[in-house]
Amino acid sequence: MSPLGDDRTEMSDNPFRAFEPDRPGSAAADDTAARIQALLSEHGLTDEPRLAGFLQDLAATGQEVPPPAAALRLIVGRRAGRARSSRRRMLMSGAAAAIALAVLSGAAQATDLVPGHLPRPADHHQQPIESSSGSRPAGSRTRLASSHPSSQPASASYPVGPLLPNPESSEPANPGATTDSGDPGPESSAAPSRSARISPSPSHEPEDSGDAHPTRSAEPTPSGSASKHD
Amino acid sequence: MTHRLDDELVAQARAGEVAAVDAVYRALAGPVRGYLASRGSQDPDGLTSEVFLVVFGRLSNLRGGASGLRTFTFSIAHARLVDELRQRARRPDIEPVADPPRFGRAPSAEDEVLARDSANRVAALLATLPAEQAEALTLRVVADLSVEQIAHIMNRSEGAVKQLQRRALLRLRESLGVTQDVPR
């Protein structure tokens, strides 16, 4: 067998086949070309084939869809490798990865993404994950944390306590979970007055599910649904 | 197959339909990863997953349809990228994470070389731009965001974003060896 053969993945057995990047020549490529022409035309640069070619190459960097499972496992491994990572954070990271993996592989209902309803990381391959409101087989899940927001629904079988703040992140411990309060402000960590826009940790709102890097409030408002440039 | 991100798809995803959530990932993960990679992330795949862990967790609360979801997703990506760059500045000795294994069709050696060459060329040219110009251009071309959306993410005015894009294009044009006058 050729040495190269070992590196090739068989399509038929690969559950991540659906994440194969699109091949050139698709409708997406035509759409990209049209967008680039629109951009160039905005700036009077339509007759610039080299510039258009560069922008095509730049746009092509967004055509590769990363396989979620590999990347999510990478997150867990990377966090586990940090000297200052606590075991708790590792558990949370693993649970969060399992949620996304389960949903992306079609094994779970998206309602299982509700913060506080975390499946055990190892379970998603063994059996379908039921909705958090449904019944679960006894012993099929692990309680990841004992403390949890007091307003957690009684049916939440596997509540998760507040995340530990990440000492390496510039983000505050409060995830700033999305609210309906209106203008969320920019998500950028570079925003100097960000902390002023983030409400103090609301006890009624569970923390972001399993993510050790909670984000700031950044819910897009209707004003964020800007009309497209073209 | 390419998934178009439209309001109906987002509504289905918000309602908890697994296929729609999956389609959202397929529609946005590539551009998110491309944006992060183009802007110099050392771990674009891992960061992409972190972005989507947040997006999925907030999906039911999102408003603004497809456009709002796109803006929200890239707002998170932008924030995470800024954090990574800050962390790297504080801890320059951190080792880059190895690329995860790729699934699906394995590219030929020729494809890989060409793709790597193209990506390197793109990265090298983008590196000649000031950070904000590169940011504005990448969000426009890779993320397919409007000027208004980019202004929201970068916390700049729309006029400033347009100016950043124009300067970026002119600078790239020079770098690419085109020297004719540009209409004002």
Q: Does residue B153 belong to the interface with chain A, where contact is any CB pair within 8 Å? A: yes
Q: Would you say residue A72 has pLDDT above 50?
A: yes
Picking from A11, A61, A99, A209 by the largest number of B CB atoms within 10 A of its own CB, the best residue to mutate is A61
Query: Which residue would you say has higher pLDDT here, A95 or B144?
Result: B144
pLDDT tens readout for residues B101-136: 554 555 566 665 666 667 777 888 888 899 999 999
Predicted pLDDT at A150: 38
Contact A189 B82 (CB under 8 A): yes
User: Phi/psi zone of residue B124: left (φ > 0), alpha (ψ -120 to 50 degrees), beta?
Assistant: alpha
Residue whose token pair is 């004002």: B184
Q: Among all residues of chain A, which has the CA nearest to that of B61? A: A178
pLDDT tens readout for residues A8-62: 344 434 444 444 444 444 666 678 888 898 899 888 888 888 889 999 999 988 8
State which amino acid sits at residue B147: V
State which amino acid sits at residue A73: R
Which of A46-50, A114-118, B12-16 has the lowest average pLDDT?
A114-118
Q: Would you say residue B62 has pLDDT above 70?
A: yes
Nearest to A106 among B22, B97, B182 (CB): B22
Picking from A2, A6, A10, A54 by the largest number of B CB atoms within 10 A of its own CB, the best residue to mutate is A54
Question: Any residues with CB less than 8 A from the CB of A135 and at least 6 apart, and which?
Answer: none
Nearest to B149 among A28, A51, A226 (CB): A226
Predicted pLDDT at A15: 42
Predicted pLDDT at A78: 54
Tell me how far apart the alpha carbons of residues A113 and B27 are, in angstroms, rounded to a whole number. 19
In percent, how much of chain A has pLDDT > 90? 1
Burial class for A178, CB neighbours closer than 10 Å (0-12, 13-18, 19+): buried
Q: What is the mean pLDDT of residues B36-45?
A: 87
In percent, how much of chain B has pLDDT > 70? 80
Tell me how far apart the alpha carbons of residues A182 and A222 are, in angstroms, rounded to a whole number. 9
Which of A120-129, A154-163, B104-113 has the lowest average pLDDT?
A154-163
Contact B83 A18 (CB under 8 A): no
Q: How near does any CA of chain A get to the CA of B147, in Å?
A: 6
Burial class for A196, CB neighbours closer than 10 Å (0-12, 13-18, 19+): exposed
Query: Which residue would you say has higher pLDDT here, A217 or B107?
Result: B107
Report whether A163 contacts A212 (CB < 8 A): yes
A113 neighbourhood in chain B, CB within 8 Å: 56-57, 59
Q: What is the mean pLDDT of residues A182-194?
A: 38
